[in-house]
Amino acid sequence: MKYFLIVLAVALLFSAGSASAHVLIKDKSGTKGAILHIQPDDDPIAGEPATLYFDMQNKNANTVQLTIANDNTKEVTTLKPAKTKGSLVTLTYTFPAQGIYTLTFATTSGSETHTFKTHQRVSRGVASGSITKSYVWAEALLLGSGVATIILATTFVRERRAISAAAKLSK
Amino acid sequence: MTTARKSLPLTHNLRFYILMSSLLISVVMVAWLRVSIESEQLFLIRTQQVFGLCGVLLWYVALIISPMGYVFGKERISYMLFARRAIGVSAAYFVLLHGAIALFGQLGGVQQITLLPNIFKWSLLSGAVAGLILLVMAATSFDAVIRRMTYKRWKLLHRLGYMGGLLAVVHIWSVGTHLAYSGIQFAAFIALVVLSGLESYRVTTVVAKKHSDLKSKDYFATLLVAIWALWIVIILAIPGLVENYHSQHTGHKMGFATEVQL
């Protein structure tokens, strides 16, 4: 049973990398929220089409416009939604290269306009030559926890008989 | 009831290794995800997802150990019974990390909940109640607390773990993006059917002990099948009763869940 659970856990853990999630973005006033979801996996691939799902939680919005600005090249693209269903708009866009992009959704409902802005990092696909960040603290933690794991495993193996006896004594 | 262990060295205590392993896994996951994911947002999403997964898996293991004792005999699974307390505390630890990252990392604070769609608000509420139940159970996992509360009351409190588990299922189903995939749905369904089957056996055994006329094989089997069938109906009803936000706007078919929706 325990081996089945371990295999299931590992399989599910690896499958976690292929799922996506929803991100809350706020408008300029901070009083309105919208949900953004990008496929594939909230981690679009430069050079391949990505689908953006934007739930503005407002079924009465007349127009929705998305502006995508490449923070590196300063290139700006304006898109109109391909599909609108209630409060949900769907757009397709191909990010040209890896980098950071600013996504600005402008929704208009009568005389009201709400602007939602978020930044999206594209780290897969066509490279842009930009310098990637490194996290020294994370690398140090990995090394440290690796050493700690070895020490823990060694201690467990060495004390396994005493551990077994102690577990049997307790009910 | 746990026998007092006055001077058990930490290195001789199985629970110590389980708790230390959980701590190490959490540190390794954070570090590994940070190193492999550049995007701050995606790092928070993946970390929260992984911790949620660890929490729910450990919770499942903690729940399934008790009924397994009725099926296989408590002597045969004495190690698992002893380890159960540490497994439950580890589940609470991962659930706490999952909630903290989701609320303060992803959302940016509790006040942002007001900006979410209603389905998210209800989902977060059921998740928060489930998490709170698990934390209370973890906090009362000490021998001194059991002695103070008396074993009967402590056992009653820990029965809440099942209600917490159900609320966790509702939370995961409503906003968990993984469950839009039919493979994950099928695996979760099988896991819940297995757990409910073992629990049904436990309940039937306890009822049969109290009512001697139920001890005959036919009556026992009928009661077992009836309770288990009821559980399966409840599990199958969840997709019909609880919305899944992710599948509303993506191309994901509900697959298995669609076929069995009531």
B61-71 tens-digit pLDDT:
999 999 999 99
- Sorted by sequence, the CB contacts under 8 Å of residue A157 that are 6+ apart come out as none
Show Cβ contacts of residue A112 under 8 Å, excluding neighbours closer than 6 positions. none
Tokens of B207: 């009822």
Q: Is A153 on the interface with B (CB under 8 A)?
A: no
Chain length of chain A: 171
With vertex at residue A129, the alpha carbon angle to CA A125 and CA A135, rounded to the nearest 5 degrees, is 85
pLDDT of residue B231: 94
In the predicted model, is pLDDT for residue B238 greater than 80? yes
Assess contact for A50 and A94: CB atoms under 8 A.
yes
Query: How many Å apart are CA A120 and CA A124, to the nearest integer?
Result: 12
Per the CB < 8 Å rule, is B53 touching A16?
yes
Judge whether residue B4 has pLDDT over 50.
Answer: no
What whole-number distance in Å separates Cα of residue B262 and Cα of residue B249? 21
pLDDT digits (tens, 9 = 90+) for B188-233: 999 999 999 999 999 999 898 888 776 677 889 999 999 999 999 9
Give tens-digit pLDDT for A112-159: 888 999 999 998 888 876 667 789 999 999 999 999 999 999 999 999
Return the bridge partners of A106, or none: A65, A115
Average pLDDT over residues B92-102: 96
| For residue B8, pLDDT beyond 90 | no
Check CB contact of A108 with chain B, cutoff 8 Å: no
Are residues A155 and B116, on separate chains, in Cβ contact within 8 Å?
no
Amino acid identity of B123?
A: S
CA distance A112 to chain B (A): 18
The pLDDT-based confidence of B251 (bands split at 50, 70, 90) is: low
Total-model pTM: 0.86
